[in-house]
Amino acid sequence: MAIYLDHAATSFPKPEPVYRAVDAAFRNVGGNPGRGGHRMTLEAGRMVLDARETAAAFFGVRDAASVVFTSGATASINQALFGLLQPGDRVVTTSMEHNALSRPLHALEQRGVVVERVAAGTDGRVTLEQIRAACSTPTRLVALSHCSNVTGTIQPIGEIGRWCRQHGILLLVDAAQSAGVLPINVEDDAIDLLAVAGHKGLYGPSGIGLLCVRPGLRLEPLIYGGTGANSSEIIPPTELPERLEAGTPNLPGIAGLKAGLDFLSETGLHVLAARKQEQLQLLYAGLEKINGTRVFGPTSLENNGGVVSFLVEGRDPAEIGFLLDREYGILTRVGLHCAPEAHRTIGTFPGGTIRVSPGFFNTAEEIDLLLQAVASLTASS
């Protein structure tokens, strides 16, 4: 049996209720929500509303209608950026972003949007002062990830959000890594657009995500089509969520996401956070003891949302990752993790790093087996 330590890519296994919810929705909820008025359609609609309300409560969203279901964080970020920005708008972002954010921004740059990239420190962190300085030229949007998928670095999004709100600048947070791991409240953190992946820290299935839009903020849809509402009109509905949810939704995904959110609420985010800190503690302390390994990213555990990137001196990370899998059955991720600029920032471009990202169900013994395997591989170099 393999030891899965790649939760930053996607969480596995899922909590049992998530599997059951997906199966039940697929088997029993036959209708297409909002399409017609028969009983199965209504039942599907109720299920979607229930999940929407659960997600809204989880992220502190006042009006559940402004929680939009998407296919994942990438789709949410694209909808937010392409739905908001016009040529001439200025965006401030950071050097730590995943391609899910930096590629659409680059594409928009080609269309006349101005993008300024704040260089993070070698620990991956940007400060409010840096963001403020970058916003000294009129800026429409600050867009950044809450937690780096390369180093686990946590950005001070609450501080940044409150400052942006005071200065009339919108904030888009890529919460792909942090949702379900760190507390997020869109009201307290003054987040205008929150992009969430359902399949990572929320323990839902892949193919489902959320975009939480601040009530009153109007986005142009990225996808046009049927919504079940305002069908006589050729233009999309003006109201959320229908405006941004054209096409049949992913019902099993939505049901699984709701079960994941319930699992997190019932377990308690503080319990998950404590487990993550224990795992990080074991990883930091264990890797430090192995001669020839070097850990990148935040030096203090509290600034790490759950990802440890490291290298073994003189060894290609791809080879180490391959051997961990082949010889020890331990699954990590190696390379650039879809964030090349982050590696330039921490000094690990172009080879990248070996990334270990434990999940709630990983045991201390599994982490110990990884450390033993790294120690043997390092000794043989």
Ligand X SMILES: Cc1ncc(COP(=O)(O)O)c(C=O)c1O
By the criterion CB under 6 A, which residues form the site for ligand X? 72-74, 98, 100, 145, 149, 174, 176-177, 197, 209
CB of 188 to ligand X, least distance (A): 21
In angstroms, how far apart are the furthest CA atoms of the chain? 70
Quote the least distance from Cβ 98 to ligand X, whole Å.
4
Query: Based on CB atoms, which residue is closest to ligand X, 154 or 283?
Result: 154
Q: Which is nearer to ligand X, 65 or 101 (CB)?
A: 101
Tell me the C-alpha distance between 347 and 95, whole Å. Answer: 12
How many helices (H) and strands (E) are present in the chain, helices listed first? 11, 13
Q: Tell which residue, 62, 87, 17, has the closest CA to residue 266.
A: 17
- CA–CA dist 188, 190 (Å, integer): 6
Q: Strand 333-335's sheet: what is its strand order?
A: 293-296, 308-312, 353-356, 333-335
With respect to ligand X, which residue has the nearer C-beta, 32 or 99?
99
Cis peptide before 87 (omega within 30 of 0): no
φ/ψ of residue 291, rounded to 5: -60, 135
Q: How far is residue 48's CA from residue 16's CA, in Å, rounded to a whole number?
A: 20
Euclidean distance between CA atoms 374 and 12, whole angstroms: 22
Nearer to ligand X, 253 or 317 (CB): 253
- Spatial separation of the C-alpha atoms in residues 189 and 171, rounded to whole Å: 10
Nearer to ligand X, 149 or 227 (CB): 149
Rounded least distance, CB 46 to ligand X, Å: 26
- In angstroms, the CA 206 to CA 215 distance is 27
**Minimum Å distance from CB 209 to ligand X?**
6
90-94 vs 141-145, strand pairing mode: parallel
Nearer to ligand X, 33 or 152 (CB): 152
Describe the crossing of helices 251-267 and 269-289 by its angle, rounded to 10 degrees.
Answer: 80
**Distance from C-alpha of 342 to C-alpha of 330, rounded to nearest angstrom:** 25
Least gap, CB of 182 to ligand X (angstroms)? 13
Q: Closer to ligand X at the Cβ: 80 or 164?
A: 80
Rounded to a whole number of angstroms, the minimum distance from the CB of residue 200 to ligand X is 7
Q: Are 378 and 329 in contact (CB under 8 A)?
A: no
Considering the complex, state which of residue 35 and residue 344 has its C-beta at the smaller distance from ligand X: 344
302 DSSP 8-state letter:
G
Q: How far is the CB of 239 from ligand X (least distance, A)?
A: 25
Record the tokens describing residue 62, joined without a space: 């006042």
Residue 337 contacts residue 351 (beta carbons within 8 Å): no
Q: CB-wise, 145 or 353, nearer to ligand X?
A: 145
Residue 343 CB, nearest approach to ligand X (Å): 14
Nearer to ligand X, 93 or 378 (CB): 93
Q: How far is the CB of 302 from ligand X (least distance, A)?
A: 19
Q: Reduced to 3 states, what is the DSSP secondary structure of residue 312?
A: strand
**Would you tell me how many other CB atoms lie within 10 Å of the CB of residue 270?**
9
> To the nearest whole angstrom, how small is the minimum distance from the Cβ of residue 97 to ligand X?
7
